[in-house]
Structure 1
Amino acid sequence: MPKILSCYPEGKLKALTMSYDDGVLSDRRLASIFNKNGIKGTFHINSGMFGDTRYRARLSEEESLEVYQGHEVSVHTVTHPSIARCPKEQVLYEIMDDRKNLERLFGYPVRGMSYPNGSYSQEIIEMLPVFGIEYARVVQTTGGYQLPENFLEWKATCHHNQNLMQHAETFVSLPPKNINLMYVWGHSYEFDDKDNWDVIEQFCDYIGGREDIWYATNIEIVDYVKAYKNLRFSADQHLVFNPSAQSVWILLDEQPVEIPGGRTLTLF
């Protein structure tokens, strides 16, 4: 019986995704660094604070359209409250109105978020699917490279202040035995505060442009994992049906096989 294992597109076993909060002016420089190195980011935006200059200067709506092109924008609530302390009605407003505002501006369904101030509760987690939210990033980190057990309580590998280059070197050197994900989060204004843009520039230069890494946004990771889990195999594993619209890849006896969306494939 052939051995069938999961993998990322084109048979890759490593993926990298980046996650940055608040929609601040320094996202311009960060997105430029990502673009230079072929890295994709997800930017979590407070739509009620576009153009705000009172504390951390925010991008305007017009600037955001340019800066985040090719990346993902995601919910961070309208006004950035600690939502675990808010009544349910306010949680509904903060998340759903942020979704609506971002969708009107960027022109696609917004389906993820990061919790503002890292604030959430089990009750909020249970509410999110009703709001159309399919993933939500927390501020706690794992130090590891596994896919999350629960995308609605998604822990990153590390904050960019947590031994970033050491993590990058470990990740790059991982043997091709398991499916791995490196997930980095932070705020781009932290590089201004600490005058250490070299940290993220060095990281992106080192880890970008590698043929064995899939560079993806948060929602692309979620969509791909769900599509893989939705594959339907015959009882003898001779046939596989992919009911999703996107291609999914598997390793068949260590060889990558593409299963196009909507197709049934004979494996052996």
Structure 2
Amino acid sequence: MTQRRTVVTTSWDDGHRLDPRLADLLERYGVPGTFYIAPGNIEFAPDDRLPADGIRELAARDNVEIGGHTLSHLRLPLIEEATAREEITAGKAELEDILGDPVVSFCYPRGEYRPVHVRQVADAGFHLARTVRRSSLATGPLLEMTTTVNAYAHRVDVPLALRLAGGRPGRAAELYLHWDELAIHWFDLCLERGGVYHLWGHSWEVDARGDWARLERVLDHISGRSDVRYVTNGALTGAGVA
């Protein structure tokens, strides 16, 4: 019997000053991470943005990739097409200037985009773009890549929890109320079925909700498996799975 292949990847959005703390945790468990950074993120106070030196230090770590997330983290469908194109290209250019290396992966701010933005991302030279669509063990199209689970408890997940729990109310409640239970459940399914397990989130949100222990529990469960391949988002294009 051929063993189904499991690939693990993680990604973390926005470019917050707490990203190094999250990277420390990933490093402890040997799990790669792609950090999608909007260097001029208007949703953060300037002191909460990860500065250029911090971005360089993050990129210098083993198993860390830096990805584009626009310049200012503007919601692409709410701005003019020309402004969206500038946000996408300027964010990439600033990160590449900071790093001195190409940036090939992108994440749509808030996961919001239209077909025109997919074309703009491709035109800017990105090879891969991540959405916020969840509950998948496949990557989907490279420029509209899906994910598996978010490090956050979504209150719209009752039907998903019931389905994954096989209709058992008690287990469904665990999966619904505790995102770490859901993340572990998805990983075990991925081991069984094969595919790409993609965990994503935000360092600032993990901190605001006091979820560092939950995240560490998940990383402890998914890490160190000899039969699992661990890659950054960008490496998915060369891992034979995207």
TM-score (norm 2): 0.80
What are the superposed Cα offsets for residues 60-119 of structure 1, whole Å, 9 maximum, x if unpaired? 111222233230111101011111122222112111111111112122211111111222
Listed as ranges, the matches of 1:249-268 within 5 Å are none
Structure-2 residue corresponding to 1:138 = 131
Report the 3-state secondary structure (helix = DSSP H, G, I; strand = E; otherwise coil) of the residue aligned with 1:144.
Answer: coil
1:101 aligns with 2:116: no
Q: Is the 8 A contact 2:36 2:69 kept in 1?
A: yes
Task: From the two aligned structures, give the one with the greater helix fraction.
Answer: 2
AA paired with 1:99?
K
Structure-2 residue corresponding to 1:158 = 149
Judging changes above 3 Å, is the alpha-carbon distance between structure 1 residues 189 and 175 closer, same or farther for their aligned structure 2 residues?
closer
Structure-1 residue corresponding to 2:38 = 46
- Shift, 1:146, TM fit: 2.0
Q: How many angstroms apart in 2 are the aligned matches of 1:181 and 1:93?
A: 32
Q: Is the 8 A contact 2:39 2:50 kept in 1?
A: no
1:171 aligns with 2:182: no
Judging changes above 3 Å, is the alpha-carbon distance between structure 1 residues 31 and 190 closer, same or farther for their aligned structure 2 residues?
same
Report the 3-state secondary structure (helix = DSSP H, G, I; strand = E; otherwise coil) of the residue aligned with 2:131.
Answer: strand
Q: How many angstroms apart in 1 are the aligned matches of 2:111 and 2:189?
A: 31
1:60 aligns with 2:51: yes
| Runs (5+) with no aligned partner, structure 1 | 6-10, 230-268
Of 63, 66, 73 in structure 2, the residue corresponding to residue 73 of structure 1 is 66
Listed as ranges, the matches of 1:92-241 within 5 Å are 92-141=85-134, 143-148=135-140, 150-162=141-153, 163-172=179-188, 174=190, 179-225=194-240
Q: How many angstroms apart in 2 are the aligned matches of 1:174 and 1:46?
A: 31
Q: How many angstroms apart in 1 are the aligned matches of 2:80 and 2:190?
A: 45
Of 21, 42, 45 in structure 2, the residue corresponding to residue 29 of structure 1 is 21
Q: Is the 8 A contact 2:147 2:197 kept in 1?
A: yes
- Shift, 1:140, TM fit: 2.1
Judging changes above 3 Å, is the alpha-carbon distance between structure 1 residues 55 and 102 closer, same or farther for their aligned structure 2 residues?
closer
Q: Is the 8 A contact 1:156 1:184 kept in 2?
A: yes
Judging changes above 3 Å, is the alpha-carbon distance between structure 1 residues 29 and 47 closer, same or farther for their aligned structure 2 residues?
same
Q: How many angstroms apart in 1 are the aligned matches of 2:32 and 2:100?
A: 19
Structure exhibiting the larger radius of gyration computed from Cα positions: 1
Q: Is the 8 A contact 1:12 1:212 kept in 2?
A: no
Task: From the two aligned structures, give the one with the greater strand fraction.
Answer: 1
Judging changes above 3 Å, is the alpha-carbon distance between structure 1 residues 24 and 153 closer, same or farther for their aligned structure 2 residues?
same
Quote the sequence identity (%): 27
Q: How many angstroms apart in 1 are the aligned matches of 2:133 and 2:194?
A: 21
AA paired with 1:18?
T
